[in-house]
Amino acid sequence: MESSAAENCNDVNNNESSSQSQTSTCMQKFRLYETRSNFYMIGRDKSRTYWRVLKIDRLDPTELNIREDSTSYTEGECFELLRRIHEGNKSTGGLKFVTVCYGIVGFIKFLGPYYMLLITKRRQIGAICGHNVYAVSKCEMIPLPNSTVNSSLADSKNENRYKKLLCTVDLTKNFFFSYSYHVMCSLQENLYNSEPDQVAYETMFVWNEFLTRGIRNHLQNTLWTVALVYGFFKQATLSVSGRDFKLTLIARRSRHYAGTRYLKRGVDEKGRVANDVETEQIVFEDVPDGLPTQITSIVQNRGSIPLFWSQETSRLNIKPDIILSKKDQNYEATRLHFENLVERYGKPIIILNLIKTQEKKPRESILRQEFANAIDFINKDLSKENQLRFLHWDLHKHSRGKATNVLLFLGKMAAYVLTLTGFFYCRVTSALRPEECMAWPYSENIGDGDMSPTKYCNNVNEDANRLEGNYSGDNNVANGNHSVKPPTIQSGVLRTNCIDCLDRTNVAQYAYGLAALGHQLHALGIKDTTEIDLDDPLADELMDLYERMGDTLAHQYGGSAAHHKIFSERRGQWRAATQSQEFFRTLQRYYSNAYMDAEKQDAINVFLGQFQPQPGKPALWELDSDQHYRGRNGLTIVDEDGRSLFKRSFSDGNILRQTGSPMSATNDKQEKFTNSTMPDRSQGGSNGLSDSSPEISTCESDISYSRCTPSMPRRQLFGDMQRDHCLETDHIFFYEHGDAFNCSNFVDLDWLSSSGNSCEDEPFERSSVLTSSPVAGLSSENVVNGILGETTPSSSEYGSSMKAADRN
């Protein structure tokens, strides 16, 4: 039995407020000890001044019993407590050291006892303004009960198989975390809309939300756990004209509707799509400690086409047929998806759809037409300023030409999209707080109000304009002489997709990242212009980063590295070698999809808690493939409150508010896109699904749109030139040369694709451009040069050889 002194570690009153300590301190290193009846975990902060004790019961194999000592100890007091625990348990073996660890990943139970997952080795992979980011180097799974009380099921055949299945989720590959920075959130969210730790764990990008749910509910804090994000993290030091800067590329994979290529396609009933990945590009300069830092970021999104569609895994067919379901006549799931994007990123939502438009045997083109129908159907109920912007562009068709032409087109499109969404820029102190705090709403002052991206974008722009008279100097930060510019935020997002959202999507995301990088470096004062030439070494370095990210994301979802035909051509690689490499990757992806993905999907479902084994019920591997789960016997799916659910697809809680019936009023549908409040997690998704879909010809429909951000008048952005480049009619625009399959409702494709100089003969209102633009650091000259091209033609510059088509 434990001594009374040992029990006191749970009962000592702490005069200091525990919650106050927790908000200012994070523990980063832990030591695990065991007695016959308990585990004791000792945690401390980085400075070794803050020590806490956690007690985990080992006698009840079926329940998770955890108690936290509310006392904050010194190092000496903590080790004196451990000595007393050892003395009190000498008769049963005393206190034994188990392992050093760096955080609890979570607890899990299969058919027998609970297991504790620990990070036992870590490595630093980067830092964001002094906040270290780590990857997992080694982890261990430790059963909680001691051998004398071990359950009879602990060593059963199925129990061991579940343990092996869970271990196939390799936490040492592409999982990352931070103790002091919410790496599951964007930089903009961290600074101006930061969530409490408990809420942050429930976001869509924390993959161990289920595993940590038990301990978080017991303790009502996250001091002992780490939030694991799955995807990609790479930080590199790059240089322009002798000035170094840090570029961080982050990809966050959603845990909702997560899985492998052919087993997770399209959308589920709650609007969550497969292969949903948020990509963030952060740029800043390292400065001495204590000085404010300028920092900037841009976020983009990729995700499966938000329709009900699937492909059957086939060992005989390397390209299985695409099956399009007609169950959602009113595109309610599609609508839910885009409502969630508005809630996450604000408006506008800009869709870049890269799938094929013409095929000998229709496959992708089936989805192309249906996706266009869905967008048209949703847009009909929305006002112009709230409508979805889209660009359908067959990248595969256009990639048959020069890779440079593809990247020029995408780069020019990306530069224009940046004028619609803006990007995030501000100055922060070493504590990662905005220096000009009066222009921004802190999270603790937000309360229950609407602080969605769209709303606080408008608030901040108003404050920035008011403060503009207090800022002085030019836009350069040369020689350490930092000139202060008003902060800006991103409102809206570019959402890119192809079929798998891997290969073509990664090319488009690189083009967008390159266009954004030019503006980011200009905002930091590192570059005088907003353009980065495709032949610039910086463009090649960024391509390497995006290529590595593409390979990583492709391995996770598709089973092989990504196809890099366009990147390889840009590097001048031998065509035969490129074709051989692409063929090998196709075979590798086929083998993985046909033979490996079923077990991989099972492991993901167990890790995320989508399937929870129960004694006496069929095992996971005895059920049909994940694609066909319908809540059959033995399948237990639970929501975030532990209630049993039986749904078409594995999903673990609502990220969207409940909608009305498919025939709900138009103003209700419009209100969901207009209001950007955070989603109600307690309500379910729409059930308004039917067995047929409407036949709507998108290409013949009138679609309205709005090209400019709410805080900027159109004429202020483009002056008189808008009559040629900004689409003032309410029609969809196609190529003039008879291509009725590539179309957009927000940008003129003839202008994007034309050659010639677009600026030489066009008048501009230079003096009135962008005085309050949400794009950091953009002057009128920058808009002309960066978005619409320069007067000197160059085949390697975005938009420099483009000329608008005459639309008289």
Report DSSP state, residue 778. Answer: -
Residues β-bridged to residue 68? 54
355-385 pLDDT, tens digit per residue, is 998 888 888 999 999 999 999 999 999 999 9
Cα–Cα distance measured from residue 63 to residue 21, given in angstroms and rounded to the nearest whole number: 29
Per-residue confidence at 675, pLDDT binned at 50, 70, 90? low
Only one residue has tokens 């297991």, namely: 115
What global pTM score does this model have? Answer: 0.76
Q: What tokens were used for 801?
A: 């050889």
Distances (CA, A) of 68 to 78, 185, 618: 14, 28, 37
Per-residue confidence at 288, pLDDT binned at 50, 70, 90? confident
Q: Are 43 and 71 in contact (CB under 8 A)?
A: no
For 753, half-sphere exposure in the C-beta direction (CA atoms, 13 angstrom radius) is 16
Only one residue has tokens 């905002």, namely: 523
548-587 pLDDT, tens digit per residue, is 999 999 999 887 767 777 767 777 666 666 677 777 677 7
44-96 pLDDT, tens digit per residue, is 999 999 999 999 999 988 899 999 999 999 999 999 999 999 999 999 999 99
Cα–Cα distance measured from residue 259 to residue 420, given in angstroms and rounded to the nearest whole number: 33
Burial class (CB in 10 A: 0-12, 13-18, 19+), 608: buried
* pLDDT at position 790 over 50: no
Cα–Cα distance measured from residue 264 to residue 283, given in angstroms and rounded to the nearest whole number: 33
* pLDDT at position 206 over 70: yes
- Sequence-separated (6 or more) residues with CB below 8 Å from residue 252: 184, 205, 229, 230, 231, 277, 278, 279, 280
Q: What tokens were used for 123?
A: 């490595």
Q: What would you report as the CA-atom Rg of the chain, rounded to the nearest whole angstrom? A: 27
Report DSSP state, residue 642. Answer: S
Cα–Cα distance measured from residue 271 to residue 284, given in angstroms and rounded to the nearest whole number: 35
**Residue 423 zone, left/alpha/beta (φ > 0; ψ -120 to 50; rest):** beta
3-state helix, strand, coil in the chain (%, to 5): 35, 20, 45
Q: Which stretch of 356-365, 431-440, 593-602, 788-797 has the lowest confidence by average pLDDT?
A: 788-797
Pairing of β 493-497 and β 349-353: parallel
Rounded to 5°, angle at Cα 574 from 569 and 579: 80
Q: Which stretch of 170-174, 291-295, 316-320 has the lowest confidence by average pLDDT?
A: 316-320
In the chain, DSSP finds a helix count (H) and a strand count (E) of 22, 23
Phi, psi of 108 (to 5 degrees): -145, 150
- For the sheet with 96-101, list strands across it: 66-68, 51-57, 38-45, 27-34, 96-101
* pLDDT at position 787 over 50: no
Distances (CA, A) of 595 to 318, 553, 598, 656: 12, 19, 7, 34
Only one residue has tokens 């975005």, namely: 798
Q: For residue 326, give the H/E element and its range.
A: none
When pLDDT is averaged across residues 434-449 and rounded to a whole number, the result is 36
Cα–Cα distance measured from residue 254 to residue 303, given in angstroms and rounded to the nearest whole number: 10
642-664 pLDDT, tens digit per residue, is 444 333 333 333 333 333 333 34
* pLDDT at position 696 over 70: no
Nearest Cα residue to 513 out of 521, 525, 502: 521
CB crowding 340-360: b at 16 or more within 10 Å, else e: bbbbbbbbbbbbbbbbbbeee
